[in-house]
A and B are shown apart, each in its own frame.
Chain A
Amino acid sequence: EPEVTQTPSHQVTQMGQEVILRCVPISNHLYFYWYRQILGQKVEFLVSFYNNEISEKSEIFDDQFSVERPDGSNFTLKIRSTKLEDSAMYFCASKREENQPQHFGDGTRLSIL
Chain B
Amino acid sequence: AQRVTQPEKLLSVFKGAPVELKCNYSYSGSPELFWYVQYSRQRLQLLLRHISRESIKGFTADLNKGETSFHLKKPFAQEEDSAMYYCALSGSTLGRLYFGRGTQLTVWP
Indicate whether A and B interact.
yes
Indicate if A83 sits at the interface (CB-CB under 8 A): no
Closest-by-CB residue of B relative to A44 is B99
On whether the beta carbons of B43 and A48 are closer than 8 Å, the reply is no
Q: Does B42 contact A (CB under 8 A)?
A: yes
B101 and A33: CB pair below 8 A? Answer: no
CA distance A110 to B73 in the complex (A): 34
B86 CB within 8 Å of chain A: yes
Distance A45 CA – B95 CA, assembled complex (angstroms): 10
Complex-state Cα separation, A98 to B96, whole angstroms:
11
- Asked if B95 contacts A33 (CB within 8 A), the reply is yes
A98–B98 CB distance below 8 A:
no
Which residues from chain B contact A56 at a C-beta distance below 8 Å?
92, 94, 96
Closest partner residue, chain B, to A47 (CB atom): B96
| Given known A33-B95, A98-B95, contact A41–B44 (CB-CB < 8 A) | no
Of the candidates A31, A41, A45, A48, the one whose C-beta lies within 8 Å of that of B98 is A45
User: Which one of A42, A101, A106 contacts B100 once the chains associate, using CB atoms below 8 Å?
Assistant: A42
Report the minimal beta-carbon distance from A105 to chain B, rounded to whole angstroms. 6
Instruction: Judge whether B83 is part of the interface by a CB distance below 8 angstroms.
Output: no
**Residue A35, interface by CB 8 Å:** yes
Report chain A residues within 8 Å CB of B55.
none
The reply to whether B95 and A43 contact each other, CB–CB distance below 8 Å, is: no
Q: State A43–B100 Cα separation when bound (angstroms).
A: 8
Do A107 and B43 have beta carbons less than 8 Å apart? yes
How far, in whole Å, are A31 and B97 apart by their CA atoms in the complex? 13
The interface of chain A, by Cβ under 8 A from chain B, is 3-4, 31, 33, 35, 41-45, 48, 50, 55-56, 58, 91, 95, 98-99, 101-107
